[in-house]
Structure 1
């Protein structure tokens, strides 16, 4: 009598399996450091502006890296398609670190702005380089988990970044908030180095038109002009409209053809990413403000909503990753977009009910915002997965760049328009918060319609 045993199936690979763990941790760390810097700078910038006598340049310190980031994204995408992601990724980390050092050592606000521009260039290029690496280093089944880890990388900075930055600035100096991060970027590079060495030579390099860089520059300048003139009246308002047109035209040159009209397939995926960012971050910019203004919460209590969103976003990202192929990319983006829409509609309704004297609890607008955050966590990572699934070595850099540009310019455009609508509503004695949230909800409806078109056309 003989017996036979069936060999146990090999363990299922995960992003923390031995073959991927170091690369995953390095990418997680880089995203976390960029996230920490964003949270930390928002905390210490008032102190920085006062110390450097540059309060008149305060808003520009935030707008500058947002604008230069668009240029960094496009350059990294073009460079990656030509040579592969290794050199662009190294250059992006060098630029980001140089920006941190310039900011930390800045003797004036003008020099600090130069550092912020370098930070934006490096940070934007870094995001694109990591997206390209995900496509090269991880099999398709693991990519939802990788992008979910990127979302999780924002949670710890959201929870502890502002407090840690304030502590560092108080005990030592705000300068260490910038310069201290350079050490951790170097550590992440050391962890990422083995994966970079394993990448095969890029044999399908393509030359991309240099005009794309000029359009990125135009889009970046137009965003800055729109930020500065968006709430103006008279002749300056015409400049704002011209800047708005400049952003729209630039998007047509920086995104896949048909993205602005949500053509089926990849263009709709890119448009969905842009609308998700535009609508959600439009609400995020005003949620703490409205909780303080209408419901008279303290800044600390109002800020709890931001912390909750960080946790819920990361949790929803993990859920969609675990579901994997059981939920199609289109279904995930559609469900997430519907949750964002529902949250934005409820947020606008809570403000309108407050204005009508019905006085709902502050829990309603806060919970509505958190619901929208859950939708972002469910849909946002799948836009990256869906993009990589239809990309090749010839266009992976461009498509990754397009996704990031849609994200950045979409949010900047929506925030600028929302700011102008807020100012106009105040002049007309209309609740400006209700105006902004209704604007975001209308955008949320467009997001749902666009997400429904992300399935590639037949044939």
Structure 2
């Protein structure tokens, strides 16, 4: 009689060994994502209550800029000591930033809290990626990253409405303070897995020059409102953190990274003002205006799935070009709608088109970057892509704040001014996307 060995059960994300960690990491990502969509919904109310419209754009730019410092610091720290300490500090900074924002007596203090949130959020993202590599087997890692993506999409479905309800029933401060509870609960689920992680046996020294340039870039973004020439410092620092030729759109990998930065800059510049303009110009409630964020979350996810299913039938270069073109169409439509003052659904529709462009082209910048990288530069290029993403959006938002204030002083329409700025940036993105084709093509990546 032949005895057949039992087939081991298939390992899953929610298997007993990984369930708590999976749920905790998903909850952490969802908490950060919920906070982002919630803040976008209530920030016009916050700026009005704290008499801080002049710092409105900086409240969005600040966490993106400081997040770059958190990313660089957490990456180096994790390589040297493992992810436990960086994750612990990241969670503490993020939670403390939420408390500072929730208790802020002025817009200046709130922006300071947003800086702390950014430091923690940037470090948290890197720390979670390191944990994935250490805790989960290679066969489960794609599913983990897919869950991270879902964790960012789901809050867009209910986050704006919930934030509007909390702000109405309890006050806007509880949008920040309530998120602290979610972060603490999620951290408690992840903690058991972290206790079993052994520190690495060695690691490269912390890149002090890279860290210094990240700090300089973040500080320059924060100073841009009062020192417009700080934009030069931001660009100088950015040039030290990305491959040579990125700022000039050199063909190939530099253009890919430049496309990522410009797409983020154009889209998030529009996103920061979509709820604001719908409330200010059309008199919508925060909950109704927040529907734009819900719609764009669904559209972004749908377009991302479409490009994924098309696979190699649409090349990375074509996807980046089409995505950039849709983004330009959406931002131009947004600017035109704000200028011509039609019915508000047309404003939302234009913004949704921009989201479709991001969903279709944005993921392929990561694929193209990996295809142009090898073992010697994959880490640097991956970091450069994230830095261009965050700093591009932060710089655009900081400049938008300056443009908004200048338009108000000149008795011009400030919303038209910032949406035109977003359109110009999107146009630059399309021009750079046209240069993403690499001599010899891109390697096929698995």
Alignment TM class, shorter chain as reference: 0.7 to 0.9
Summarize the Cα distance change of 1:115–1:198 in structure 2 as closer, same or farther, 3 Å threshold. same
Q: How does 1:50-449 map to 2 (within 5 A)?
A: 59=56, 64-82=62-80, 85=83, 87-100=85-98, 115-131=113-129, 143=142, 149-165=147-163, 167-168=165-166, 177-189=175-187, 191-192=189-190, 205-226=203-224, 228-229=225-226, 239-241=227-229, 243-291=230-278, 300-351=287-338, 354=340, 360-388=342-370, 398-425=380-407, 431-449=413-431
Alpha-carbon separation, structure 1, partners of 2:286 and 2:33: 21
Evaluate the alpha carbon distance shift between residue 337 and residue 21 of structure 1 in structure 2; reply closer, same or farther with a 3 A threshold. Answer: farther
CA contact (8 A) 1:276 1:380 kept: yes
* Structure-2 separation of matches of 1:289 and 1:46: 5
Q: What is the CA distance between 1:251 and its match in structure 2?
A: 0.5
- Larger displacement relative to structure 2 (117-126 or 89-98): 89-98
1:122 Cα deviation from its structure 2 partner: 0.8
How far residue 375 of structure 1 moved from its aligned partner, in angstroms, is 1.2
Deviations 1:372-428 (A, max 9, x none): 111112222333444456667776654444333222221121123233334444555
Q: Deviations over 1:275-309 (max 9, x none)?
A: 11111112223334444566565555444322211
Determine helix, strand or coil for the equivalent of 2:228. helix
Quick check: 301-310 or 324-333, which moved more?
Answer: 324-333
Under a length normalisation based on structure 1, what TM-score does the superposition of the two structures give?
0.75
User: Any stretches of 5+ residues in structure 2 without a counterpart?
Assistant: 1-7, 442-446
1:49 and 1:218 map into 2 onto residues whose CA distance is 27
What secondary structure, in the 3-state scheme, does the structure 2 residue paired with 1:261 have?
coil
Residue by residue over 1:27-58, the C-alpha shift from the partner in whole angstroms, topping out at 9 and shown as x without a partner, is 4322210122234445667888899x886997
Q: Hey, what's the Cα distance between the residues in 2 that align with 1:205 and 1:394?
A: 16
Provide the rounded CA distance (Å) in 2 between the counterparts of 1:407 and 1:307.
22
User: For residues 187 and 403 of structure 2, what CA distance do their matches in structure 1 show?
Assistant: 43
Compared CA separation, residues 176 and 371, structure 1 to 2 (3 A): closer
Q: CA RMSD in A?
A: 4.4
Q: Report the CA distance shift for 1:30/1:317 in structure 2 as closer, same or farther (over 3 A).
A: farther
State the Cα distance separating 1:248 from its structure 2 match.
Answer: 0.7
SS of the residue corresponding to residue 160 of structure 1 reads helix
Task: State the alpha-carbon separation in 1 of the partners of residues 202 and 74 from structure 2.
Answer: 16
**Distance change in 2, residues 1:54/1:315 (3 Å):** same
Distance 1:132-1:261 versus aligned 2 partners, 3 A rule: farther
DSSP 3-state at the match of 1:282: helix
Paired residue for 1:232? none
Per-residue deviation, residues 136-189 of structure 1 (Å, max 9, x unmatched)? 75869975x766654442344334334434555666676654455444334434
The 8 Å contact of residues 77 and 397 in structure 1, kept in 2 or not, is answered as no
Q: 1:307 to 1:245 in 2, by over 3 A?
A: same
The answer to whether the Cα contact below 8 Å between 1:128 and 1:401 also exists between their aligned partners in 2 is: no
**Equivalents in 2 of 1:74, 1:325: separation in Å?**
33
- From the superposition, tell whether residues 133 and 401 of structure 1 become closer, same or farther in structure 2 (CA, over 3 Å): farther
Of 169-178 and 371-380, the range deviating more from structure 2: 169-178
* Deviations, residues 253-280 of structure 1 (Å, cap 9, x unaligned): 1223322123344433322221111111
- The answer (yes or no) to whether the contact 1:291–1:362 under 8 Å persists in 2 is yes
- Kept in 2, the 8 Å contact 1:22–1:191? The answer is yes
Unpaired segments of 5 or more residues in structure 1? 1-9, 230-238
CA contact (8 A) 2:44 2:275 kept: no
1:119 CA displacement: 2.1
User: Normalization by structure 2: what TM-score?
Assistant: 0.77
Q: Kindly tell me the number of residue pairs found equivalent between the two proteins.
A: 433
